[in-house]
Amino acid sequence: MDILLPRTLDEALGLKSDHPEAVPFAGGTDLMVELNLGRRLPPMALDIHRLPELRQWHCRDGELFLGAGMTYSRIIRELPGFTALAQASRSVGSPQIRNRGTIGGNLGTASPAGDALPVLAACDAEVVLARDGGGTRALPWHRFLIGPKKTAIEPDELILGARWRIARGPGSFSKVGRRNAMVIAIASLCLVLDEDRHAVRVALGSVGPTVLRAPEAESFAAGALAEAGAWDDPAAPLSPGVLEAFGERVAASAKPIDDIRGTAAYRRHACEVLARRALRWALEDRLSGPAGRGARC
């Protein structure tokens, strides 16, 4: 196999345009498994892990841009204020995997169990793609992730990164697996409260062909906070049964299957429990004042 070693993004995009069959790799933590198991034998690979342009993040005009080459370890170190993103990053693999594995790789693999993906979905992220000649396009996450391990990327494109509007409000990521570390999610959930838009956003991983949102549950929770006057007064109590009803609605949005890691029924139950807990944590965080109120650069 030929390995292409570009030094700049422009060079990498040029090589990708000349050799669309070249498979890009950043950390290689997904690709190397495929190669070692003989599931994929590309004629050419494109090493993008050194490209400085992909290793950046910035906050600008109320938006976070996360370069595709950001590793989980760097996210944990450099973006601890983005609680849900940092929690998801902490839950990935082992320290070695977190030092190598990247956001771009999680997007490129597009596994329904990718831990970063529910966070991107709950944040309404766009995936930014580039091709040779300076052309870029941005796709909303749900138009990029189009099926299990299937994305809308074209053969001559690379993922530049993901970007989203920074929401003021608490958020969390949680995951159920067979043990506490080094585990593929049986179910995962990201919940984000958007204080400015009075919105609750919930995304689920590992319980459908790709990451899913739970729109009915989201409007129910936002409505319950509005009814209680809790958007303006975090101490206002919600009606009894709201957390439980929210959990049931989130579980109803899941489209799980039985597989070696868990049954569909267990996964639905896990979604219900994760959702209930995540909403309770968010409500508790709101009581702790501005410090508990979510993402900061």
Ligand X SMILES: Cc1cc2nc3c(=O)[nH]c(=O)nc-3n(C[C@H](O)[C@H](O)[C@H](O)COP(=O)(O)OP(=O)(O)OC[C@H]3O[C@@H](n4cnc5c(N)ncnc54)[C@H](O)[C@@H]3O)c2cc1C
Residue 67 beta carbon to ligand X: minimum distance, rounded to whole angstroms: 9
Amino acid, single-letter form, for residue 197: R
Compare residues 67 and 247 and give the one whose CB is closer to ligand X. 67
Out of 6, 79, 108, 206, point to the residue binding ligand X (CB under 6 A).
108
Residue 20 beta carbon to ligand X: minimum distance, rounded to whole angstroms: 12
Compare residues 134 and 290 and give the one whose CB is closer to ligand X. 134
Beta sheet of 199-205, edge-to-edge order = 171-176, 187-194, 199-205, 212-213
- Joined together, the tokens standing for residue 97 give 């995997």
Residues in Cβ contact with 15 at an 8 Å cutoff, skipping those fewer than 6 apart: 4, 6, 22, 46
Out of 1, 3, 33, 257, point to the residue binding ligand X (CB under 6 A).
33
Asked if 53 touches ligand X (CB under 6 A), the answer is: no
Spatial distance between the Cα atoms of 268 and 252, rounded to a whole number of angstroms: 7
Asked if 127 touches ligand X (CB under 6 A), the answer is: no
Span of 91-99, 119-127, 242-250, 266-274 interacting with ligand X by CB under 6 A: 91-99
Q: Give SS3 for 172.
A: strand
Residue 133 beta carbon to ligand X: minimum distance, rounded to whole angstroms: 17
Out of 6, 15, 25, 218, point to the residue binding ligand X (CB under 6 A).
25
Compare residues 68 and 217 and give the one whose CB is closer to ligand X. 68
Spatial distance between the Cα atoms of 187 and 117, rounded to a whole number of angstroms: 12
Compare residues 44 and 245 and give the one whose CB is closer to ligand X. 44
Asked if 124 touches ligand X (CB under 6 A), the answer is: no
Compare residues 144 and 164 and give the one whose CB is closer to ligand X. 144
Out of 114, 118, 234, 262, point to the residue binding ligand X (CB under 6 A).
114
Spatial distance between the Cα atoms of 112 and 206, rounded to a whole number of angstroms: 5
Instruction: State phi, psi for 95 to the nearest 5 degrees.
Output: -55, -40
End-to-end CA distance of the chain: 41
Spatial distance between the Cα atoms of 183 and 104, rounded to a whole number of angstroms: 20
Spatial distance between the Cα atoms of 242 and 278, rounded to a whole number of angstroms: 13
Residue 36 beta carbon to ligand X: minimum distance, rounded to whole angstroms: 10
Residue 297 beta carbon to ligand X: minimum distance, rounded to whole angstroms: 22
Compare residues 186 and 214 and give the one whose CB is closer to ligand X. 186
Compare residues 108 and 256 and give the one whose CB is closer to ligand X. 108
DSSP H helices in the chain: 9-18, 31-36, 72-78, 83-90, 95-100, 103-109, 116-122, 141-144, 215-228, 242-253, 264-287
Q: Which residues bind ligand X (CB under 6 A)?
A: 23-31, 33, 48, 54, 68, 92-93, 97, 100-102, 104-106, 108-109, 114-115, 158-159, 182
